[in-house]
A and B are shown apart, each in its own frame.
Chain A
Amino acid sequence: QSVLTQAPSASATPGQRVTISCSGSSSNIGSKYVYWYQQLPGTAPKLLIYRDNQRPSGVPDRFSGSKSGTSASLAISGLRSEDEADYYCAAWDDSLSGWVFGGGTKLTVL
């Protein structure tokens, strides 16, 4: 059971917009930055969003992050087949004094 909660799967068709949610608590998302990672099949994870809503250089602006209270969301617009991947949220947890990850959401592009 992960400290951060994500739906195990999501799906959408090319061109659509999809949102992936991540729920936590006051000791993590509620008081710390949220990060999002993309893991393409058979590869290492890659940083997608940092500090709640910032994109590293090279990440398309189709990807956006937001946060409200103890929940965060990753939105992907103009969905493409190459976006099919596992997406993980993460945050530092003050109560655990460690990093926590969501269980991951497998995105399928239909």
Chain B
Amino acid sequence: EVQLLESGGGLVQPGGSLRLSCAASGFTFSSYAMSWVRQAPGKGLEWVLTITGNGGSTYYADSVKGRFTISRDNSKNTLYLQMNSLRAEDTAVYYCAKLASSDGFNPWGQGTLVTVSS
């Protein structure tokens, strides 16, 4: 069974940094692109970043370009999201998701809440 487990969320002050992790199991991690999708409280889904299976290519939403970095360690089956210069509008539940070619985001992790507030 494919499982994704996010961790690292919490409360951080504006301008601060946070690193999220997503531990994957049940599939050949290095063969699949992975993504982060976030959802602000009471709002819809917003795609944030995607990284290819070998880590060679990354794709960023304009809203986080220059502030967030996606990376992966295929030896540890773990996806990361480094978030710097955090703003109040970055407050959201952050989900990691497996992205198979033409098969969509499937599955999703349970999410981890990031709150940016002073």
Contacts and interface: CB of A to CB of B under 8 A. Distances in A.
Contacts of B111: 44
Given A45-B45, A98-B59, A102-B44, A33 B108 contact: no
A37 B95 contact: no
Contacts of B107: 44, 46-47
Contacts of A44: 95, 107-111
Given A44-B95, A104-B44, A98 B60 contact: yes
Looking at chain B, what size class is its interface with the partner chain? 20 to 34
Contacts, number: 60
A21 to B, nearest CB: 16
Nearest to B35: A99
B45 A47 contact: no
B84 to A, nearest CB: 20
Contact of B47 (A39, A56, A100): A100
B44 A101 contact: yes
Given A98-B59, A102-B44, A33 B50 contact: no
B61 A98 contact: yes
B102 interface: yes
A47 B44 contact: no
Interface residues of A, number: 24
Contact of B105 (A2, A37, A104): A37
B25 interface: no
Interface of B: 35, 37, 44-47, 50, 59-62, 95, 102-111
22 contacts: A2-B44, A35-B104, A44-B107, A44-B109, A44-B111, A45-B45, A46-B108, A47-B104, A47-B105, A47-B107, A50-B106, A86-B44, A90-B47, A90-B105, A96-B62, A98-B50, A98-B59, A99-B37, A100-B47, A101-B46, A103-B44, A104-B44
